[in-house]
Amino acid sequence: MAGEGAIARKHLAAIARIDGVEVVSLAGGNAADTEALAAEHGIAHWSLDLAQCLARPGVDAAVLTTPTQMHAAQAIQVLRAGKHVLVEIPMADNLADSRELVQVADETGLTAMVCHTRRFNPSHQWVRNRLVAGELTLQHLVVETFFFRRENTNALGKPRTWTDHLLWHHACHSVDLFQYQTGETADRVSALQGPIHPELGIAMDMSIAMTTPSGAVCSLALSFNNDGPLGTFFRYICDNGTYIARYDDLVDGGENPIDVSQVDVSMDGIELQDREFFAAIDEGREPNASVAQCLDAMITLDRLEQTL
């Protein structure tokens, strides 16, 4: 495991529920936090040097939960070291680095997967199953991604050493999901952004619109200025019903709960995603959300950036 922040904790909790997988080393960026997290989860070895962790006995794969700007270079480092890699979303913060990572994954033949968790949340799986079966046709996906990030802190309220990004991180979830659920690449895209924050150097508000060749529409609103419920909420407006997904939970348009407990072996999207990574390694196959499969989302993000 690389990373000692909030998302690393979610992966560690998920992996603890997966038989046959053991975290034997933790690579971090802050010594005190890394040591504390390793002790909390009984991880025998920790270091601030990723290469040292990769060289430890018994290491077959790495899960990267490090700052966005490090993802591509570290994922390539892991692959070059002969290890499989699961990298947190996004695989990179630009298209060129994304293409390089996909190329290295192809050259090494190792399992390389991105944490496009929305593909695995039971709520989105439930909708996808009906889309694939022809029971629903998606007409409009309306997404709200709202956080309060006027100060550079993480989900645990601790100061960040890096700056998050609405387009290359948070929009990446929804761009990939829209194209995954429709089975199409958006043919028309546009984006608008608000003022650049004087200290963080990023836009704090953004609006994105996409359509597919078949006519499905996606409207995505993103903000780091929202003072209210935080997170990402998806409204699927279909020809045969409306459904609202809130991470692993799903309700219909009237807010009536839909039972998604039998969709998969867990109700935790992160756990299901991590299970897919380890299963793909064991079975020698391409995982759902491989870096190659997710390159289309990065291409669309690059097109969106060009419209700003």
- Specify which residues 184 forms β-bridges with: none
Model confidence at 164, pLDDT cuts 50, 70, 90, reads: confident
Q: Give φ, ψ of 287 to 5 degrees.
A: -80, 155
Please give the structure tokens belonging to residue 28: 């971090």
Percent of the chain at pLDDT > 70 equals: 97
Model confidence at 155, pLDDT cuts 50, 70, 90, reads: low
Measure CA 59 to chain center: 23
The fold adopted by the segment(s) 118-254+289-307 is Dihydrodipicolinate Reductase; domain 2 (3.30.360)
H/E segment holding residue 294: helix 291-307
Model confidence at 163, pLDDT cuts 50, 70, 90, reads: confident
Query: Is the per-residue pLDDT at 178 higher than 80?
Result: yes
Separation of alpha carbons 306 and 181, rounded Å? 24
Please give the structure tokens belonging to residue 32: 């005190």
- Specify which residues 221 forms β-bridges with: 144, 207
> Which residues lie below 8 Å from residue 65, measured CB to CB, with a gap of 6+?
1, 2, 3, 5, 7, 8, 11, 88
pLDDT of residue 151: 73
Query: Is the per-residue pLDDT at 154 higher than 80?
Result: no
DSSP 107-139: HH---EEEE-GGGTSHHHHHHHHHHHTTS--EE
Separation of alpha carbons 68 and 36, rounded Å? 23
Dihedral of CA atoms 250, 179, 9, 52 in degrees, nearest 10, equals 160
Query: Is the per-residue pLDDT at 95 higher than 80?
Result: yes
Separation of alpha carbons 1 and 16, rounded Å? 13
Model confidence at 160, pLDDT cuts 50, 70, 90, reads: low
Residues in the chain: 308
Nearest-5° Cα angle at 106, 4 to 118: 50
Nearest to 26 by CA among 42, 6, 55, 3: 3
Same fold, 6-116 and 118-254+289-307: no
The answer to whether 229 and 237 are in contact (CB under 8 A) is no
> Which residues lie below 8 Å from residue 151, measured CB to CB, with a gap of 6+?
none
Separation of alpha carbons 212 and 220, rounded Å? 14
pLDDT of residue 61: 98
**Strand pairing of 112-115 and 84-88?**
parallel
The correct CATH number of 6-116 out of 3.30.1330.60, 1.10.10.10, 3.30.70.20, 3.40.50.720 is 3.40.50.720
Separation of alpha carbons 227 and 217, rounded Å? 27
Domain ranges, ordered by start, for the chain: 6-116, 118-254+289-307
H/E segment holding residue 190: strand 188-193
Please give the structure tokens belonging to residue 67: 């700052």
- Report which DSSP code applies to 183: T
Separation of alpha carbons 225 and 146, rounded Å? 8
pLDDT of residue 156: 59
Query: Is the per-residue pLDDT at 71 higher than 80?
Result: yes
Please give the structure tokens belonging to residue 55: 């060289």
